[in-house]
Amino acid sequence: KNEVEQSPQNLTAQEGEFITINCSYSVGISALHWLQQHPGGGIVSLFMLSSGKKKHGRLIATINIQEKHSSLHITASHPRDSAVYICAVRYTGNQFYFGTGTSLTVIP
């Protein structure tokens, strides 16, 4: 019921490439978060979405409620974007379920 799937699991890109990471969930949600975990382990919240699209710098996040799908895009990727990107969904209340993460490596 609460499955959250991310793809791809691993992604290697050349600097400057456009990157897309996908997240699918199985039932209706209250909100979806994109998190970034740096190689050192720290976690940063990038976006919270309940509908539509958000943009912050080179990062764009979209969500399609009908298709139960969200994407995180990185334009003009840079080596400092190398991190694990995690999709998290919130159902009722504050119960969160997490995808397994996408490990991104951007090569100079």
Residues in the site for other proteins, rule: CB under 8 A?
31, 33, 35, 41-45, 48, 86, 88, 93-101
Nearer to other proteins, 19 or 35 (CB): 35
Q: How far is the CB of 64 from other proteins (least distance, A)?
A: 19
Q: How far is the CB of 52 from other proteins (least distance, A)?
A: 14
In the block, which residue shows the tokens 């974007």? 81
Give, rounded to a whole angstrom, the gap between the first and last alpha carbons of the chain. Answer: 40
Q: How far is the CB of 6 from other proteins (least distance, A)?
A: 10
Nearer to other proteins, 9 or 64 (CB): 9
Nearer to other proteins, 40 or 108 (CB): 40
3-state SS string over 45-106? EEEEECCEEEEECCEEEEEECCCCEEEEEECCCCHHHCEEEEEEEECCCCCEEECCCEEEEE
Nearer to other proteins, 17 or 84 (CB): 84
Q: How far is the CB of 16 from other proteins (least distance, A)?
A: 29
45: Cα within 13 Å, side-chain hemisphere: 8
